[in-house]
Chains A and B, each alone.
Chain A
């Protein structure tokens, strides 16, 4: 089966490749050109010169600090998710009580809550506990909204651990906690790295929560920096594209190393 070449699929795939790759090409090409060259050549042209001035300008406008902030937020979100999700997923998979089933349903319903829906009370809450304009104030809600999807993914992987292994552990007299530390965590490494990547993406790419919950330059994250850069230097297209490109580099590096974890995690969301 499927031996004849599928020309329709081939054409469609090539078209989509152009749609995905061309903008990325324009971005890379523009970011290494000076503004005069860029406006002379137009966006869809081979770059004639090469300069790193755009990147320097981006850093001069404060992006170094924004990167640092984003890194702190990302690390915080990943930390919280890795701390609270594994015990939860373990209980969901292994406990046979009615209450854990209910809690799992509760987290599944949580998948449907959009951040926009709760942003006003979140603003109120973060304000009243004195976390407004702090990085912790971004980390906590971002991590909370990453929980449902991470729980779904991790409990999916934990289900693959066979009952025999649990039985062997319990024959050896291992406690629940010991089983968790010695059996469940080591065998869920794949799932753990998937949810870490997911949490990191949420932390790195978050926009609305930082927009609403911070205001000063010292707590600004990269996504907000991009937005600001665009509104302030709207005519400096190469500069803006250089900034966008810089914001992508860390994610691309993670993608390079964690592609499998990420793709399989996403496939599991709807593919079973």
Chain B
């Protein structure tokens, strides 16, 4: 839950003024200084934060990978603004996000709530359900690409169901496959989020509902779902950012095709930068990705009142 939140500030009594401990008994406690954070912070600055700043700078430059980048002002941005593929990629990304959230959320809530309960065989089944999460996106994509191969895979065996069997050759089925593979891969992760949250729902709420004669469905909708609210937001934000940056799945399953029909923004960035050696343009697309991801997360946090979560947690 802490994911997108600032850490809870230390309790007021611990340091009321500028880090001077009040209670005399604690004054002599050795506390680690900022120096302890330096190795990690410097390392992270160097390999994650400085590149993030650099990508903005590079978006105003042109670079082919050879020689030094040259400053070109708004050129990449103007070209990007009039680029139909860029616009299409943004729409596709949005579609991927919506379909991803719509397919993964219900399944992972149901599985998570189920796994939090006392059912038999739960441990064994949970262990099996967890498997896809361990595998790399590359392995999963290669696996499904092979399973769904038009000539040697499952569609070839069940022609009555799959028609010509070329799921990767038509836009709707290609998108469907990518969404399905994403669901296969990431549902376990979100299930775990919901499982953890469902476990921490106070049992007294269910007991009270039982006394009031509420059925299982009623309990689910009136107690479980509202109690999962914050987890739903965390999970959906992670899905949105994850969906926006889907890459291996698209590269391996469809290579962005047919045509540009599954070229989502993250994949377009890769194509521009590393296949057409347009590193400036690739950087501009990367900046769009970061801005869109941050904007969606912030809007969702605001709309949901998630930033005020501390007060809702105190109520429980």
Measured CB to CB, the residues of A under 8 A from B are 1-2, 4, 6, 9, 12-13, 16-17, 19-21, 23-24, 26-27, 30, 38-39, 42-44, 80, 83-85, 87-88, 90-92, 94-101, 103-108, 110-125, 140-141, 143-145, 147-148, 151-152, 156, 166-167, 169-170, 174-176, 179-180, 201, 204-208, 212, 223-224, 226-227, 229-230, 234-235, 237, 240-241, 243-244, 247-248, 251-252, 255, 259, 263, 266-272
Q: Are B286 and A85 in contact (CB under 8 A)?
A: no
Give chain B nearest CB distance to A164 CB in angstroms.
Answer: 11
Bound Cα distance A176, B28 (Å): 11
The 6 closest A-B pairs by CB, nearest first: A271-B196, A205-B136, A144-B47, A270-B193, A267-B196, A121-B54
Q: Are B2 and A108 in contact (CB under 8 A)?
A: yes
Q: Are B286 and A122 in contact (CB under 8 A)?
A: no
Give chain A nearest CB distance to B91 CB in angstroms.
Answer: 18
Measured CB to CB, the residues of B under 8 A from A are 1-7, 9-10, 14-15, 19, 21, 25-26, 28-34, 36-37, 39-41, 43-44, 46-52, 54-55, 58, 63, 65, 69, 107, 110-111, 113-114, 117-119, 125, 127-139, 142-147, 149, 151-154, 156-157, 184, 187, 189, 192-193, 195-197, 199-200, 203, 206-207, 210, 216, 231, 234-235, 238, 241, 244-245, 247-248, 251-252, 266, 269-270, 273-274, 279, 282-283, 286-287, 289-290, 293-294, 297
Contacts of A84 in B (CB 8 A): 39-40, 43
| Residue from B58, B107, B139, B294 whose CB has the most chain A CB atoms within 10 Å | B139
- Among candidates B40, B131, B192, residue contacting A20 with C-beta atoms closer than 8 Å: B131
Q: Are B245 and A121 in contact (CB under 8 A)?
A: no
| A272 in contact with B2 given A20-B132, A96-B15, A205-B138 (CB within 8 Å) | yes
The chain A residue with its CB closest to the CB of B15 is A96
Q: Are B152 and A120 in contact (CB under 8 A)?
A: no
The chain B residue with its CB closest to the CB of A128 is B68
| A144 in contact with B44 given A117-B290, A227-B138 (CB within 8 Å) | yes
Bound Cα distance A234, B253 (Å): 12
Bound Cα distance A121, B293 (Å): 19
Give chain B nearest CB distance to A158 CB in angstroms.
Answer: 11
The chain B residue with its CB closest to the CB of A206 is B136
Bound Cα distance A38, B153 (Å): 10
Q: Are B48 and A94 in contact (CB under 8 A)?
A: no
Give chain A nearest CB distance to B12 CB in angstroms.
Answer: 12
Contacts of A121 in B (CB 8 A): 50-52, 54-55, 58, 283
Q: Are B134 and A230 in contact (CB under 8 A)?
A: no
Q: Are B197 and A147 in contact (CB under 8 A)?
A: no
Q: Are A95 and B111 in contact (CB under 8 A)?
A: no
Q: Are A125 and B149 in contact (CB under 8 A)?
A: no
25 A-B residue pairings within 8 Å (CB atoms): A12-B110, A20-B184, A21-B128, A30-B146, A44-B157, A87-B37, A88-B36, A91-B37, A103-B41, A111-B3, A113-B52, A114-B241, A114-B245, A114-B266, A114-B293, A120-B273, A121-B52, A125-B47, A170-B29, A229-B142, A230-B145, A230-B252, A269-B192, A271-B195, A271-B196
Give chain B nearest CB distance to A253 CB in angstroms.
Answer: 11
Q: Are A16 and B39 in contact (CB under 8 A)?
A: no
Contacts of B36 in A (CB 8 A): 87-88, 90-91, 95, 176
Contacts of B146 in A (CB 8 A): 30, 230, 237, 240-241, 244
Q: Are B34 and A100 in contact (CB under 8 A)?
A: yes
Contacts of B1 in A (CB 8 A): 270-272
Bound Cα distance A176, B184 (Å): 46
Q: Are B231 and A270 in contact (CB under 8 A)?
A: yes
The chain A residue with its CB closest to the CB of B143 is A244
Q: Are B32 and A122 in contact (CB under 8 A)?
A: no
